[in-house]
Amino acid sequence: MASPHPDIDHILLTADAIAARVAELGAEVGRDLAGADGQLVIVPVMTGGFIIVADLVRHLPQRRVRIEVVTVSSYGGTNMTSRGAQLIGALPPTLEGKHVLVVDDILDTGGTLRLLQAEILRRGAASSRSCVLLRKPTAGAAQTKCDYVGFDIPDEFVVGYGLDFDGLYRNLPYVGTLAMHARTATPPPLTEVRAS
């Protein structure tokens, strides 16, 4: 589908398709973790996971849940390939007896999820599950346990709905492929606006 944004080649997933699938994921999580009321900890991976988790938790209104954000660095800036996952934001020191659901925007190399799953279990969680909006057809993704997947997509560089390039495009309500000119162009410098 053509995009109204000049930096997007085409829309891969519309806002309506994403909303419908996130509602389905919320229903699945709600059923699977029905017995975890008050013991459910949802861990969005910042920054990309904040939009999907905001929409996902609204489909769990009958559940008492905690949200504990975590930051993992793997891409950064204009890098389009992972440099390896590193935990740079803290998980709670103990997750004893908790049922933890990690929510991320995309499963590509799998490094982020594998790192977090190991840390969560090391901190005493009763269970560790993961949910991603998108999964690419890579060897790393195939080797990584993921309980809930929104969409399987081609191995293309995508932005929107939380996914970024150099911190931009997270605000797009759809997921689209980033045009080559947007990946290579140097943005114009910001100019100071003076009050007259």
Which residues does the annotation mark as catalytic? Answer: 108
Residue 196 has, within 13 A of its CA and on its CB side, a CA count of: 0
User: Could you write out the DSSP letters of every residue in 60-82?
Assistant: -TTS-EEE--EEEESS-TT--S-
Asked if residues 130 and 146 have their Cβ atoms less than 8 Å apart, the reply is: yes
Q: How far is CA 132 from CA 48, 59, 104, in A?
A: 10, 16, 5
Between CA 114 and CA 131 the distance in angstroms is: 13
Rg from Cα positions in the chain: 18
Q: Look at residue 52 and give its three-state secondary structure.
A: helix
Q: How far is CA 78 from CA 23, 181, 182, in A?
A: 32, 13, 11
